[in-house]
Amino acid sequence: MATKIGDQESPQASASHQPSVKRAPPPETPAAIQTRFRVIAAFWAVIIFLGFPIWWKTTSIYRASLPIEEMVDWADGKACRPVFPLEIHLATPSMQSLEAQHLLRTTQHALDDLNEFAAHHLRLKLSNGSTTATHNGEDSPESFKYLAEETADTALTVRLLPQEGLVGPRSELQTATTQLDIFYPPNQVPVPSSSNSPLSAFITAELQRLYSEEKATIAYILSGNTAGLDSTSPQLAEEIDRRLRRSIKYAETYHLSFSLFTPGSEPSSWDIEAAVNEYVSPLLQALSPISNFTIDTQVQLYANFAPTAPKPEYDESEAVWTLKKEGLSAFVNAAEWPLNPSIGSGPTINFILYIPDPSQSPLFVKENRASSWMVPQWGGVFILNPPLSHTDKQGGPSNPTHLSQDSLGPAFMTFSHQLLTLLGTPSTPTSLPLRLQTSIRIRAASLLLSASSTMGSLARLTKSLPSIPIPATVATSVSTTLSHLSSSCAHLREGRFSAALASARVAETEAERSFFEKSMVGQVYFPDEHKVAVYLPLLGPIGVPLVVGLLKELKRIAGRRKAKGAP
Amino acid sequence: MAVDRRKIAVFGAAFVLRLLLTCLFPSLPDLLTGRVEVSTPVNSFKRLQEGLFLYTRNVSPYDGGVFHQAPLLLPLFALLPNAKSWPLPTAIFYFLVDLLNAYALLTISASGQSVKSRLHSAVRKHVRWDGVSVAAWFLFNPLTIATCLARSTSVFTTSGILFAVSNAVSGNTINAMLALGFASYLSLYPVLLFIPLVLLCYDRRSEGSSPPNVGSFIVQHAALLLASVAGLLGLSCLITGDFWEFISATYGFHLLVPDLTPNVGLWWYFFIEMFDSFREFFLGVFWLHLASYMGGLTARFRRQPLFVVTALLGVFAIFKPYPSISDASLFFALLPLYRHLFPLMRYTFFAGSAILYSSLLGPAFYHLWIYAGSGNANFFYAITLVWSLGLSILLADTVFAALRDEWEQECPGMVGAEVRQV
């Protein structure tokens, strides 16, 4: 283009610069002017009618609109105050209904007076004994779902049973169900006139004791510390802090890896399937509202200690081999033992069953004669010392070639306990269903907070980087997250904790998905100055002759119009 | 019949030369087939063989993403014996196509449209080569020979374009549109030649008794072109079965340039370096840049539509997404028609040196980069820049000469006057 315009004018220009040339250049004919106008118009038509639409279409950044205000509200905790109203049924099979109601009222009063953490409170409710029994100990997900649609989960059933010959009331927590039996002397039934009674005080104290750890944990999660609770002892606070540090970060799916390691060739087989079915599967079933689990197992023979690890020492006094406590961290030979750090998306929890060599058997931890320990956020180790057999012809004792389900029992009991600890299940109370329920509430609270803060981060990110694209999938994920967050919050308010956890899990997954959307982060750092560097080298050389040509043409048209108007 | 004997001698010599090269150096065709300067992803004979293999085994030829050429080539080559075991029949087929192209050039030259058209008559009419010389220039051009021996499928596009032009200058406007439809069907970009070609047809028609209406003439021929392309697409659909698969594998491949194998063009290096988010935008820019010359050149050279075709072919040889030396050879084939412009050109030596320099150094630098490992991509890219520079200078010089010729025709007094570029 430049060539053409230049060339076309060059004879004329050269003539004007050289007045000595005899003949003046002939004036441009109207046809030539018209042709030049057509040429410039042809180029600009392409630019305007094709170039600009293409530029607009290919460089505009699609930003789906996000409910920024709402997201920030969730992150700041304005949208939802998580509350944990626990419904506790009071079964009084042998009490007059009037008396029972009075007892309930006074106990509730006492509980409310003592409660200093408003988000977590206990609600007592009278129930007739026949219906409460049906809810007891039902932890399967089906019943959780079923309950979630109708009423609040029953956190605990307190059964008041008169018993002759007691001086004061006495409590007994059933370890397999969510039931607390309180036995009281029949003469301590409070009379409606009295405002206080030893029985209600006892029930209050029992319930407070039962839920103190959970309350402290939830307070810790919601506020970051337990300072708000006066009653929490420093030991308990430290305990909670330690437990949360030891437990693995929440994930939608965990991989459980059970490994049998032995330095020799035996045992080479174990009844792992039966052991898992017997000891682990029921626990996983109970944990299924919280997370999903996959299991894999392996047997590794000739697994040696790392060369730098301290060797077991022989304790002559007790005829056992011992490991020093401080050397346990080097026990797992991470370099050589094939323990995958992660399979698929979720974290892996490793459980190692170690069978020592017959020459070093039995093997224990020196300080406390323990045979198992836990590695925080990683897994657990159990040293199994099987009975040695002397059938070998060479004379030395040898390990059994096969480990039966029974011999694996203690190890897998320990592993299940370690699994619960690693998942952050509180250590009190003694009843497993109660601990699982507590775990559900704790998880719901932490997921609610985590998804909310992810929403806040996403909102801040989109506000601070106006140049990143926001695909429609992110907007969908955000709206799914927000709706599940609010339904989770509503479930919490009404005491349906399993449903709240289910919603919070969806919210967390969607929040993570929206925050880590790949197409968004691709252009996170691309300031506008860089666009000049992208556009100019190419479009500059093309653009200058086009723009200059257009300007000249416009000037000519303007001049002609002026000339027409002037005379 | 001295002229006829000359013609036979040129055509025969060209045929024999190709045959000798094939027979004396049996590895030469395969060597050339693998060269990036000759074979691009859209015209490579190797890829055609792959598509043919799949096609003869009843698998979709576009499976595997190697083959990107028009499906109608497949039944054509399926008729020929296997090129691996019987290379000669395929080679002779290509020689004949080359001779046909030369014959089309002969027709174009004989019409004299390049020197005297309806609206324009060159000042130096007498300075011209006859058809046989033009054909010989084409047939003995090393670029043409290399393309022919490499069995690149660009020669069919070349045929389509040359026959469209030769039919247009002979007044067979319907055949011209059908041939252009064939060329466009094979490689998409020749469709940009429609406007100058239809103007050429119109000028030829208007030389007769009653000039037809311009608008309806263009619309009729556009419809004809569309119909021919649609017919070929319909046939292809019968062959491949899956319409969209074949469209996206062929025209989608031309338009979106996903394969950045080095070639003599300017696109591959640029799109390797491009930020991903700007890729679509610059694809648009490059294609529009290629297309925008059509309108400007047509408007400026309304009086010489054949020259617009020539200049556009030069633009395509430089700026098209997958150019090869066959595109340059097509441009060089039409240039001798403008022998009368040569005295007006100013940079022929510079342009010629640049082209020679790059065509000799290009293979060497490619070897340094890919095989010796002592160079990098910039070596080869620099050479393709020089190649494009040489072609651009030649093209710009030709355009300048044509403009000068028009100007001298308008102002007869200025013939031979000194000019100075500002």
CB neighbour list of residue B318: distance below 8 Å, 6 or more residues apart: B265, B266, B388, B391, B392, B395
Q: How far apart, in whole angstroms, are the C-alpha atoms of residue B51 and residue A427?
A: 69
Task: Say how many domains are in chain B.
Answer: 1
Contacts of A38 in chain B (CB under 8 A): 299-300
Output the CA torsion sign for A414, A417, A421, A424. positive
- Residue A258, both tokens: 């059970």
Q: How far apart, in whole angstroms, are the C-alpha atoms of residue B31 and residue B27?
A: 6
Q: How far away is chain B from the Cα of A514, in angstroms, using its nearest Cα?
A: 20
How confident is the model at residue B232, as a pLDDT? 94
The answer to whether residue B314 is domain-embedded is: yes
The alpha helices in B257-338, defined as continuous H runs, are 267-273, 279-300, 305-319, 325-334
Q: Give pLDDT tens digits for B356-389.
A: 999 999 999 999 998 998 888 899 999 999 999 9
How confident is the model at residue A269, as a pLDDT? 86
Q: Give pLDDT tens digits for A153-182.
A: 777 888 888 777 777 777 888 777 778 888
- Interchain proximity A42–B299, CB inside 8 Å: yes
Highest mean pLDDT among A55-69, A79-93, A445-459: A445-459
Q: What DSSP element (H or E) covers A314?
A: strand A313-315
What domain range is B50 assigned to? 2-410
- Domain ranges within chain A, ordered by starting residue: 2-11+28-60+527-565, 87-219, 248-422
Task: Encode chain B (422 residues) as per-residue pLDDT tens digits.
Answer: 455 788 999 999 999 999 999 999 989 999 999 998 999 999 999 999 999 999 999 888 898 889 999 999 999 999 988 888 888 999 999 999 999 999 999 999 988 888 888 888 888 888 888 889 999 999 999 999 999 999 999 999 999 999 999 999 998 999 999 999 999 999 999 999 999 999 999 988 888 777 788 889 999 999 999 999 999 999 998 888 888 888 998 999 999 999 888 989 889 998 988 877 788 888 999 999 999 999 999 999 988 999 999 999 999 999 999 999 999 999 999 999 999 999 889 999 999 999 999 999 999 999 999 899 888 889 999 999 999 999 999 999 999 999 988 888 887 776 766 666 55
Partner residue facing B400 (CB), from A7, A35, A542: A7
Bridge partners (DSSP) of residue A382 are A353, A372
CB neighbour list of residue A509: distance below 8 Å, 6 or more residues apart: A252
The answer to whether B4 faces chain A, any CB pair under 8 Å, is no
For residue A184, the one-letter residue type is: Y
Q: How far apart, in whole angstroms, are the C-alpha atoms of residue B48 and residue B28?
A: 18
CB neighbour list of residue B201: distance below 8 Å, 6 or more residues apart: B168, B171, B173, B176, B177, B217, B221
Q: How far apart, in whole angstroms, are the C-alpha atoms of residue A159 and residue A137?
A: 14
- Interchain proximity B288–A539, CB inside 8 Å: no
Q: How far apart, in whole angstroms, are the C-alpha atoms of residue B325 and residue B362?
A: 12
φ and ψ of A116, to 5 deg: -110, 0
The answer to whether residue B207 is domain-embedded is: yes
pTM recorded for the entire structure = 0.69
Contacts of B300 in chain A (CB under 8 A): 4, 35, 38-39
- Interchain proximity B281–A26, CB inside 8 Å: no
How confident is the model at residue A195, as a pLDDT? 63
Q: In what order do the strands lie in the sheet with A313-315?
A: A313-315, A320-323, A363-365
pLDDT tops 70 at residue A360: yes
How confident is the model at residue A5, as a pLDDT? 41
The answer to whether residue B422 is domain-embedded is: no
Q: How far away is chain A from the Cα of B205, in angstroms, using its nearest Cα?
A: 23
pLDDT band at A314 (very low <50, low <70, confident <90, very high): confident
Which pairing describes strands A170-173 and A179-184: parallel, antiparallel, or unpaired?
antiparallel
Q: Give pLDDT tens digits for B325-336.
A: 999 999 999 999
- Interchain proximity A11–B414, CB inside 8 Å: yes
Q: Give pLDDT tens digits for A115-168.
A: 777 778 788 887 754 444 444 444 444 444 444 444 567 778 888 887 777 777
Q: Give pLDDT tens digits for A231-255.
A: 566 777 777 778 777 788 888 888 8
Distance of CA A296 to CAs A256, A276, A340, A406, B177, Å?
A: 6, 10, 11, 20, 70
- Interchain proximity B302–A35, CB inside 8 Å: yes
How confident is the model at residue A28, as a pLDDT? 73
Contacts of A542 in chain B (CB under 8 A): 289
Q: How far apart, in whole angstroms, are the C-alpha atoms of residue B318 and residue B393?
A: 11
φ and ψ of B116, to 5 deg: -140, 110
Q: How far apart, in whole angstroms, are the C-alpha atoms of residue B387 and residue B351?
A: 9
- Interchain proximity B295–A45, CB inside 8 Å: yes
The answer to whether residue B175 is domain-embedded is: yes
The answer to whether residue B318 is domain-embedded is: yes
How confident is the model at residue A13, as a pLDDT? 42
Output the CA torsion sign for A188, A189, A193, A196. positive
How confident is the model at residue B319, as a pLDDT? 93
Candidates B281, B304, B318, B346: best to mutate against A (most CBs of A within 10 A) is: B281
